[in-house]
Amino acid sequence: MQGVLSLDAYDLEGQTVLYRVDVNSPLNPIDKTLLDDSRLRTLKPTLQLLSKSKVVILAHQSRPGKDDFSDMSQHSARLSQIINRDIMFIKDICSDSTIDKIRDMKNGDILFLDNMRIHSEEYSKKYENWQNTEESEIVTKLSSVADLYVTDAFAAAHRKSPTLTGFTTKLPCIPGNLMMSELSNLRTAIDNPPRPYLAILGGAKADDSLRVALNLIQKNIIDKIAFVGVVGNLMIWANGYDIGNRNKDFITNLIGDAFDETWVMAQKLVKQYPDLLILPTDIAVEINEERIPMQLDELPTEYPIYDVGLQSLMNLRPIILNSKCILWNGPASFFEKPGFAFGTIEILNMCIETEALTIIGGGHTSALVSSRGVVDKVTHNSTGGGSTMCLLSGENMPVIESLIKSATIFSDNS
Ligand code: 3PG
């Protein structure tokens, strides 16, 4: 990428490096253990480059209030196994004792700090539109003991919180190996995606998905958009079907404060662009722990909708096979639940069957690609979900803007 600093230009030995990563990973819904370590594995090359530095890892897991919001101890232990080096986990963000520990580090030491989103500055409404992230306590304290900031948090490059953008003017901010390789792998799909271009948007982050969908449509980047997963259920509802109070409440709570604006976007999509949308025509609900197929005209249901149905998948199949470029983000189903992996796995099978340029992103979806051993059957298995979609839909990327701005400030000082 042009216009950013390069790790090659720095003598990294003995430097204290704040290393921001995104290892937000799927956790087992029952016992909260780490289900997938692929995002952790992608950090190896940069950590190798930083092997003689003092490395302080900054990361987050999920969002406050969510079931999979946890500390980073498991991530730290797993990363230590992956790179075969000791890592000290500190259950803290930036207290004075942590700052002292950073000062005492020796070359080759690695500290893994706790979930950055434990700190109220990092993830709260108040800071969503915060321009001056550099004024935060986290940034002020951590930058006082560091020489460089390196980021491989591509998967959070569409977010603006302090540890993602606050170091811009305080320290040289340098993209790591993963950040560089994501940007170069996604270049073809940004510059000149082959058409027809299909986006399959699933998962639970409906507000992000619908904003990206409108962007893709309004910038004439896309030919068709299929909605599946929780966002698919929301679109069925916006299209006039009563999905039942239980499903409506689930979606409303999940989206929280952003619900009203998300609903407006959903209405706009179904009313203004019906020809571009592919919505589920049937679903599967869970009744007594069993998968039960259901047609949309059987709605409303008091049971949870956990997958798309067979007919929806059959409708999708020719569209996937005729596409020349496919962007898929977010599962079609609650695939960790027995009986409900079907829709997501079928879509994966269709994507690996095509000759199309296939970009798959999102923590859960890309973890599935890795766990089924089909990474080499897709064009790019991105560590980013929302960030990949934002980048490909031409949205602003605060982390990339920060890297570019930092280069203008620090380019002569390497
Ligand atoms: C992700 O996994 O998509 C990133 O970590 C961003 O997570 P967020 O949507 O909670 O900011």
Atom of ligand 1 nearest to the CA of 385: 3
Residues 161, 66, single domain; the answer is yes
Residues 25, 92, single domain; the answer is yes
Centroid of ligand 1 to alpha carbon of 315 (angstroms): 30
Centroid of ligand 1 to alpha carbon of 152 (angstroms): 14
Return the CATH number at 218: 3.40.50.1260
Domain that holds residue 16: 7-179+396-413
Choice between 203 and 336, residue whose per-residue pLDDT is larger: 203
Strand, helix or coil for residue 299 = coil
| Each residue's pLDDT tens digit, 154-198 | 999 999 999 999 999 999 999 999 999 999 999 888 888 999 999
Q: Which residue's CA lies nearest to atom 9 of ligand 1?
A: 386
200-220 burial, b at 16+ Cβ within 10 Å, e below that, comes to bbbbbbbbbbbbbbbbbbeee
Residues 172, 200, single domain; the answer is no
Choice between 40 and 371, residue whose per-residue pLDDT is larger: 40
Atom of ligand 1 nearest to the CA of 159: 11
Burial class of residue 395 in the structure, from the number of CB atoms within 10 Å of its CB (0-12 exposed, 13-18 middle, 19+ buried): middle
| Model confidence at 30: pLDDT above 60 | yes
Angle at 121 between CA 117 and CA 122, to 5 degrees: 35
| Model confidence at 414: pLDDT above 70 | no
| Each residue's pLDDT tens digit, 10-26 | 999 999 999 999 999 99
Does the beta carbon of 385 sit less than 6 angstroms from any atom of ligand 1? yes
Q: Mean of the per-residue pLDDT values for the chain?
A: 95
| Model confidence at 376: pLDDT above 90 | yes
Q: Tell me, yes or no, whether 237 lies in a domain.
A: yes
Centroid of ligand 1 to alpha carbon of 364 (angstroms): 11
Does the beta carbon of 363 sit less than 6 angstroms from any atom of ligand 1? yes
Residues 323, 402, single domain; the answer is no
pLDDT of residue 363: 83
pLDDT of residue 125: 63
Q: SS in 3 state form for 311-377?
A: HHHHHHHHHHHHCCEEEEECCCCCCCCCCCCHHHHHHHHHHHHCCCEEEEECHHHHHHHHHCCCHHH
Does the beta carbon of 155 sit less than 6 angstroms from any atom of ligand 1? yes
What is the rounded average pLDDT of the residues 232-236?
98
Residues 16, 101, single domain; the answer is yes
Locate tokens 């059987």: which residue?
A: 298
Query: Distance between CA atoms of 369 and 365, rounded to whole angstroms?
Result: 6
Centroid of ligand 1 to alpha carbon of 161 (angstroms): 11
Does the beta carbon of 24 sit less than 6 angstroms from any atom of ligand 1? yes
Residues 230, 121, single domain; the answer is no
Q: Tell me, yes or no, whether 388 lies in a domain.
A: no
Percent with pLDDT over 70 in the chain: 98
Q: Tokens for 22?
A: 């995104």
| Each residue's pLDDT tens digit, 209-221 | 999 999 999 999 9
| Model confidence at 277: pLDDT above 70 | yes
What is the rounded average pLDDT of the residues 387-395?
92
Residues 199, 172, single domain; the answer is no
pLDDT of residue 267: 98
Does the beta carbon of 364 sit less than 6 angstroms from any atom of ligand 1? no
Asked if 176 and 151 touch (Cβ cutoff 8 Å), the reply is yes
Centroid of ligand 1 to alpha carbon of 247 (angstroms): 23
Q: Which of 125, 127, 159 to mutate to test the pocket of ligand 1 (most atoms within 8 A of CB)?
A: 159
| Each residue's pLDDT tens digit, 347-356 | 999 999 999 9
Residues 23, 153, single domain; the answer is yes
- Cα-Cα-Cα-Cα dihedral of 133, 383, 395, 240, to 10°? -110
Per the structure, how many domains does the chain have?
2
Residue type, 168: T
Q: Tell me, yes or no, whether 79 lies in a domain.
A: yes
137-158 burial, b at 16+ Cβ within 10 Å, e below that, comes to ebbebbbebbbbbbbbbbbbbb
User: What does DSSP assign to residue 34?
Assistant: B
Residues 166, 109, single domain; the answer is yes
Does the beta carbon of 22 sit less than 6 angstroms from any atom of ligand 1? yes
Q: Tell me, yes or no, whether 25 lies in a domain.
A: yes
pLDDT of residue 385: 93
Q: Tell me, yes or no, whether 381 lies in a domain.
A: no
Centroid of ligand 1 to alpha carbon of 386 (angstroms): 7
What is the rounded average pLDDT of the residues 15-41?
94
Burial class of residue 252 in the structure, from the number of CB atoms within 10 Å of its CB (0-12 exposed, 13-18 middle, 19+ buried): middle
Strands 224-227 and 380-381: unpaired
Atom of ligand 1 nearest to the CA of 205: 9
Residues 213, 311, single domain; the answer is yes
Centroid of ligand 1 to alpha carbon of 198 (angstroms): 23
> pTM surpassing 0.75?
yes
- Pick from 90, 354, 345: nearest CA to 196: 354
Strand, helix or coil for residue 110 = strand
pLDDT of residue 127: 62
Query: Could you tell me the pLDDT band of residue 335, with boundaries at 50, 70 and 90?
Result: confident
pLDDT of residue 44: 98
Residues 139, 226, single domain; the answer is no
Centroid of ligand 1 to alpha carbon of 23 (angstroms): 9
| Each residue's pLDDT tens digit, 87-132 | 999 999 999 999 999 999 999 999 999 999 999 999 876 666 667 8
Query: Could you tell me the pLDDT band of residue 362, with boundaries at 50, 70 and 90?
Result: confident
Residues 231, 345, single domain; the answer is yes
Q: Tell me, yes or no, whether 370 lies in a domain.
A: no
